[in-house]
Structure 1
Amino acid sequence: MGDLPAAHVVGHEHADVTGGWLRPAVFGAMDGLVSNAALIAGVAGGTRSADGASAVVLAGLAGLAAGAFSMAAGEYASVASQAEAAEFEVAKERREIIENPGAEQAELAAMLADRGLEESLAKEVAAQVHRDVDTAVAVHSMEEFGINPSELSSPYVAAGSSFVAFAVGALVPVLPFLFGVTSLWPAMVATLVALFICGAVVTRVTSRQWWFGGGRQVALGGVAFAVTYLVGMGVGGAVG
């Protein structure tokens, strides 16, 4: 007899798509790039004076600071509220399990049976789960409203990652002006390149191709820059 084939090792490591840092970091970087570049484009389009570059830099840095703090505050409030709501539901589930253990165990057995387990096995599993209150709370929370009590997102992580990501993204279109460039094009090109890279990187945790993710971000950003530049030209011409 030949050697038996080695056991296949199944790898189930997945990217973090629900944690407290990924969404605000990605959204913050994209928003920082697009919103600040669009702001700069609008100011550049409406500025005709010799110190137009100074106005662009001032607007860009102000937009960076205001946007970063706004994003951080918004993310903190949003994630904190979600976490508090989740904690409220988990606490309610804990009270129900403690006060009505038999009914809750039967409820879990019914849910497991609905998922395909044989009734006898579902009852046995539910009984084992309910031997420990914390385990029962965790399983019921996941089954009933899709929340793992031990993996709630941190509002501090969300706020911090959002702040840093937005600031880094918003700095990109300002950098050429800080180095003495007076034309808008280098800032827009740098921003579009950064958008393409961000879009391509994001596809590592999605099903899209890297070129699609990058191209989509470039297209959306390009439209935003063009529109705000034209708006800036119209407003600048009207009030100039």
Structure 2
Amino acid sequence: MTDTPAALREHHHADVSGGWLRPAVFGAMDGLVTNIALIAGVGGGGVSPRNIVLTGTAGLVAGAISMALGEYTSVRSANEQLAAEVAKERQELERHPEAEARELAEMWMARGLPEHLAVGVAEALRQDPEQALRVHVQEELGVNPDEQPDPWTAALSSFLCFSVGALVPLLPYLFGATSLALALAVGGLGLFVAGAVVARFTNRRWFSGGLRQLLLGAAAAAATYLIGMLIGVQGSLG
């Protein structure tokens, strides 16, 4: 029975290898948690709202640049490592095609494929070197060499999302408020919303996803607030 267009759309998978979702999520969450904790720490130390804005802005800029550079380097290094492994596999296929075909067939047989079928497909692949290389890399390394994340996409995604996340707890101060509690509440709301949005991407319950991120961020903010308060108290006593 032929699938309808609607059924085909339902079975369409999301792009999980484009290199943007993981750094976007990581960047947004890191930006939120980092600046919420940073603001809580310096606020707990008793600094003025102006200095809180200065600290939070510096944290936003430094963190966004650091995240972008880290993502670019990480993704590019992983791609370069994969390219080296692909080149190594290409050499093996050129030097020992029979042994490589046998190895591939044995992998399929270990998964339950009949021997005659596994051997037949492996031998057929030898007629197309590029397709054989692709299949060998997928089977042996567990990745598709044609679908690797782009380091620039990862870097830009991380930079933008970290910046947006880090900006959220600063918004009350930028609009003229001077309450640390309000800034932390806005940051907490941002954490909950971000967690809920991510949960929608992963088909999890939005409320549990939002609550999890809120609790994790609250724990970080509480720790830095206490440290800031202790250092501020000690400094005033000294």
User: TM-score, normalized by length of structure 1?
Assistant: 0.92
2:62 counterpart residue number: 66
Instruction: Show CA shifts across 1:111-165 (max 9, x none).
Output: 1222222111111211222211111111000100111110111111111111111
Equivalences for 1:73-152 in 2 at 5 Å? Answer: 73-152=69-148
Deviation at 1:206, TM superposition (A): 2.8
Alignment of 1:160 onto 2:156: yes
* Partner SS, residue 151 of structure 1: coil
Q: Deviations over 1:32-86 (max 9, x none)?
A: 00111110111111125xxx01000000000000000111111111111111111
Question: Which of 174, 195, 200 is the equivalent residue of 1:199?
Answer: 195
Identify which range, 168-177 or 182-191, moves more after superposition. 182-191
Which secondary structure state, in structure 1, belongs to the residue aligned with residue 131 of structure 2? helix
Residue of structure 1 aligned with 2:167, choices 160, 164, 171: 171
* 2:76 maps to amino acid: A
* Structure 1: 5+ residue stretches without partners: none
| Counterpart residue identity of residue 43, structure 1 | V
What letter is aligned with 1:94?
A: R
Q: Are the aligned partners of 2:17 and 2:148 in contact in 1 as well (CA < 8 Å)?
A: no
Identity of aligned residues (%): 55
Which runs of 5 or more residues in structure 2 are unaligned?
A: none
Amino acid at match of 1:177: Y
Shift of 1:31: 0.5
- Structure 1 Cα separation of the partners of residues 17 and 2 of structure 2: 34
2:41 — aligned with what? 42
CA distance in 1, matches of 2:17, 2:215: 27
Q: CA RMSD for the aligned pairs? A: 1.6
TM-score, with normalisation over the residues of structure 2? Answer: 0.92
**1: distance between equivalents of 2:3 and 2:37?**
55
Instruction: Decide whether the 8 Å contact of 1:17 with 1:205 is kept in 2.
Output: no
Partner Cα separation in structure 1 for residue 119 and residue 88 of structure 2: 23
**Distance verdict in 2 for CA 1:173–1:7, change over 3 Å:** closer
In the TM superposition, what is the alpha-carbon distance from 1:16 to its structure 2 partner? 3.2
- Give 2:234's match in structure 1, choosing from 228, 234, 238: 238
Aligned partner of residue 96 in structure 1, secondary structure: helix
Residue aligning to 2:13? 14
Report the CA distance between 1:15 and its aligned residue. 2.6
Work out the CA distance in 1 between the residues paired with 2:135 and 2:16: 21
Q: 1:239, 1:115 → 2: CA distance?
A: 66
Aligned residues: 233
Report deviation, 1:168: 0.6
Q: Secondary structure at the match of 1:182?
A: coil
